[in-house]
Every structure is written in structure tokens, then in C-alpha cells.
């Protein structure tokens, strides 16, 4: 069974090396819609794939990191990156171009890591997985990444350490240390549920 959770953010970027001059030469923004698809073969004690309320923690914080932020590709010229870092509190440096495709595969990668580092306490069988992430930057255009895209598109070309969030972004998370914990492989503990019959 598959469930979908929708998120939104307002973000800015430049997509270097794309075909459109407007996109590759000018800062511009979009009203993004992010859809996260989770899949499981079994249901938890509440007969859910995953409680929608649990999305309000780490996964929401990661996606919200891009709201009113500037997303920049790690291969930007250093003087431009320095300018952004100096003049903007909220920014994210990405190991992939901040295209809809780049966002979708990177968010899928991050959410996959989060789920693999989460201790579930409501009867989940361990088969819960992120099956896809869809990112729409306009009402008419979106990209969707599935698990096979992680290897096909990027292989082992990036790790969590290659994604950098500004200090202001991290300060606004529920747990400002969340990213460092994820990199270290520390476990996130979901609430323990008292099962009633």
C-alpha cells in the first residue's frame, strides 16, 4: 500500500547549464509542491502505512529548509557562493543542480536515510520505505524520483555530508542537531504506542 504526504515551499535558485537562458542566468523562484510517497507491505497497529502526524518532525523540517531559502549547486563559482552565504540567512548547498529533478532525487535520498535511521514503535514490520518523491515547481511541470533513480542518476556521487544547510535553517528545526545526528547514523525514535485491543 502507498500513502502520499504533500508539502509546499517557496524557494529560489538558478539552474546552471539548462537550456533556457532565463533559468540558467537569473535568480528566480517557484511555489514548489513536494509529494512524498511511502510504501509498506503491512500496516502498523493503527492500520496505517505511516501515521501522517509523524511527518511533522524530521521529514517536514528537511523539506521546510528550502522555504524562503536560496538553493545553490555545489559547483557554483566560489565568489557567487560566498555572496549568497554572506547576504542570505537561509540557503542550502546541494550536490545536484536545484532543478525539480535534482530536488526530487535528493529529497528521496534524504528521506530514505531518515527512515532507515528511525526506530518504529507502533508495530511496523520494517518494510516501510520511501517509494518516490515528486517535486512540482509549477502547476504544469514536475519531476518524480523513485529508488532506482538514486543509483541510475547519481550512483555514489554524493553523501549526506555533501548537503549543507545554513545555520539559520538548522536553528529553525525542531532539533537543530538533526542533520549531524543523521550523518553520524544516530537513531530517531518514534513515540512508543500503547497497543489497546
- The values of phi and psi at residue 193, to 5°, are -110, 130
Rounded Cα–Cα distance for residues 94 and 171 (Å)? 19
pLDDT tens across the length of the chain (197 residues): 999 999 999 999 999 999 999 999 999 999 999 999 999 999 999 999 999 999 999 999 999 999 999 999 999 999 999 999 999 999 999 999 999 999 999 999 999 999 999 999 998 877 899 999 999 999 999 999 998 887 766 656 678 999 999 999 999 999 999 999 999 999 999 988 888 87
Distance set, CA 47 to CA 36, 37, 141, 191 (Å): 19, 17, 34, 16
Q: Which residues are catalytic?
A: 23, 68, 137
Residue 196 pLDDT: 81
Residue 156 pLDDT: 62
Amino acid at each position: 500500500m502507498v500513502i502520499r504526504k504533500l508539502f509546499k515551499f517557496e524557494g529560489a535558485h538558478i539552474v546552471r547549464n539548462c537550456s533556457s537562458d532565463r533559468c540558467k542566468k537569473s535568480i528566480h523562484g517557484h511555489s514548489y509542491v513536494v509529494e512524498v510517497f511511502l510504501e509498506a507491505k503491512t500496516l502498523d497497529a493503527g492500520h496505517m502505512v505511516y501515521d501522517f502526524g509523524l511527518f511533522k518532525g524530521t521529514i517536514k523540517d528537511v523539506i521546510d529548509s528550502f522555504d524562503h531559502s536560496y538553493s545553490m549547486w555545489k559547483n557554483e563559482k566560489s565568489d557567487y557562493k560566498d555572496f549568497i552565504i554572506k547576504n542570505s540567512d537561509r540557503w542550502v548547498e546541494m550536490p545536484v543542480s536545484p532543478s525539480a529533478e535534482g530536488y526530487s532525487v535528493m529529497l528521496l535520498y534524504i528521506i530514505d536515510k531518515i527512515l532507515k535511521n528511525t526506530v518504529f514503535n507502533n508495530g511496523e514490520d520494517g518494510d516501510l520505505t520511501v517509494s518516490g518523491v515528486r517535486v512540482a515547481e509549477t502547476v504544469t511541470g514536475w519531476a518524480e524520483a523513485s529508488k532506482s533513480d538514486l543509483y541510475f542518476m547519481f550512483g555514489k556521487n554524493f553523501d549526506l555530508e555533501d548537503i549543507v544547510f545554513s545555520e539559520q535553517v538548522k536553528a529553525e528545526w525542531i532539533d537543530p542537531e538533526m542533520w549531524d545526528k543523521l550523518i553520524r547514523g544516530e537513531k530517531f525514535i518514534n513515540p512508543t504506542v500503547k497497543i489497546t485491543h
